Amino acid sequence: MAAVTELTLSALSLELEAGRVSSVEATRGCLDRIAALDGQVKAFLAVDPAQALASAAASDARRAQGKRLGPLDGVPLGLKDLFCTTDFPTTAGSKILEGYRAPFDATVVARLRAAGAVFLGKQNLDQFGMGSSTEHSGAFPSHNPYALDRTPGGSSGGSAAALAARFCFGALGTDTGGSIRQPAALTNTVGLKPTYGRLSRSGVVAYASSLDCPGPMARTARDVAMLYQATAGADPDDSTSLRQALPPLTLDAGVKGLRIGLPAEYFGGGIEPEVEALVRACAQALERQGASLVPVSLPHTRFALPTYYLLACAEASSNLARYDGVRYGPRAAGATSLKDLYEKTRSAFFGDEVKRRLLLGTFALSAGYYDAYYRKAQRARTVIARDFTQAFGQVDLLLGPTSPAPAWRLGEKLEDPLRMYQMDALTLPASLAGLPAASVPAGFTAQGLPVGAQLIGPAFEEARVLQAAVALETAHPWHQKAPVL
């Protein structure tokens, strides 16, 4: 029999329900793999085997009494270390939160806990979500299980690497400008950035509040849908969480009759030809299942990058003001005044990329520059969102690449922040517009590197995005191709 860790989350859930596999067996399977292989992959920042096995045993006991809590009961999951958790440290991948213990669980974590999920540990990320490769983690970079000398993407790269390496069955990540979709694309996994506000931000360490979206990651769209269902929905602790009831999921409805738009700006110049060819093959697979393909244009796509990096840095400069050596984490020694304490602490414990962004953001918000930069970027954001509104007048969904290139070598773009930022060119627009978008496996390059296809839907239409994602993975079950570790 194949190892339990090869099962998808949905398959494991059925095995658990039928009593053919216990949660302790599944959890031990994950922990054994982590112990054997995470020295190479470096997906986790913290793992707690005793605690995970204890919650697995509790899940098995519930099942034995006929009191299973639902489909996630007993399923081992990982969490990007940007979610507050009472039972693990919460570091946001930064030295400035070393030793911090959150006094409460993030709402989405609490929902998974109440559903009986088993938490294996906290997963690596670029500090505060600022990065596209995990190389801006304060701890260490994670490695792509399909090519260990390459990045698994970022910022939720630890979670994506863990999924690809079969260390866990699902995970929660966050996506501010692509941090769920891009690592999913680079690791042959699936990630959903929901509509802004669909999942509560309460207890998620803030990066850029008008863009931050927690969301599910797993190896298949069906698995992602299960995690989405368990975590989405209004939360009184987040004033921006959406109040609407969740429309039912329609995973098996297929794509017959759906109009799929192919944005001209997402193909051609700047996109690696192999990536483009694989994503076009996805479009054809959907067409064969009855969808119609429609050429569309999102004319302001090229402004998304400067717009995003301006707004995200501005919001970050305000959000990260709280790390001052007084309220959280470590404090630099030898300060002679309060101002000196702030300066010494922040310069000692924030990473270089964080500092770069805080400087940029503070500058953009300063008196005299506010109109030229921040206000102008807000206007550009509106124009970018309007592109989507116009496109969705003609089509039901949009399809394009998630990332312009497959996984690059660790170190390759570290010295050139702009080249790193360019890897986000195709995920940023949907973030600025607040739209739901998923990345699904689209196949492999000749070198064996995974490629992801991005599906973008109109606001609130996660169900439609997931429905097309399921259709794609049924046509091309790329997720079955495991890395060789």
- Nearest approach in angstroms of CB 48 to ligand GLN is 25
- Other CB atoms within a 10 A radius of the CB of residue 474 amount to 15
Looking at beta carbons only, is 78 or 131 nearer to ligand GLN? Answer: 131
DSSP 371: I
Looking at beta carbons only, is 9 or 360 nearer to ligand GLN? Answer: 360
Contact criterion met (CB below 8 Å) for 41 and 143: yes
DSSP 333: S
List of residues 6+ apart from 30 with CB closer than 8 A:
5, 52, 76, 120, 166, 167, 168, 169
Could you confirm whether 355 is annotated as catalytic? no
Q: Tell me how far apart the alpha carbons of residues 286 and 475 are, in angstroms, rounded to a whole number.
A: 8
Residue of closest CB approach to ligand GLN: 179
Q: Tell me how far apart the alpha carbons of residues 332 and 484 are, in angstroms, rounded to a whole number.
A: 44
SS3 176: coil
Looking at beta carbons only, is 27 or 307 nearer to ligand GLN? Answer: 307
- Nearest approach in angstroms of CB 126 to ligand GLN is 7
- Nearest approach in angstroms of CB 309 to ligand GLN is 7
Residue (of 281, 483, 229, 245) closest to 401 by Cα position? 281
Looking at beta carbons only, is 249 or 364 nearer to ligand GLN? Answer: 364
Looking at beta carbons only, is 5 or 174 nearer to ligand GLN? Answer: 174
Q: Which of 179, 403, 431, 439 is catalytic?
A: 179
- Other CB atoms within a 10 A radius of the CB of residue 140 amount to 13
Cis peptide bond upstream of 239, omega within 30: no
Could you confirm whether 80 is annotated as catalytic? yes
How deeply is 54 buried, as exposed, middle or buried, from its count of CB atoms within 10 A (0-12, 13-18, 19+)? middle
- Nearest approach in angstroms of CB 179 to ligand GLN is 3
Q: Which of 22, 23, 80, 132 is catalytic?
A: 80
- Nearest approach in angstroms of CB 211 to ligand GLN is 8
> Which positions touch ligand GLN (CB under 6 A)?
129-132, 155, 175-179, 207, 312, 424
Q: Which of 22, 155, 403, 439 is catalytic?
A: 155
The DSSP-derived string for 288-329 is: HTT-EEEEE--TTGGGHHHHHHHHHHHHHHHHGGG-SSSSSS
Any idea which residue has 């939160």 for tokens?
97
- Quick one: tokens of 277? 């060819």
- Nearest approach in angstroms of CB 226 to ligand GLN is 23
Contact criterion met (CB below 8 Å) for 75 and 119: no
Looking at beta carbons only, is 59 or 159 nearer to ligand GLN? Answer: 159
Could you confirm whether 179 is annotated as catalytic? yes
Q: Which residues are catalytic?
A: 80, 155, 179
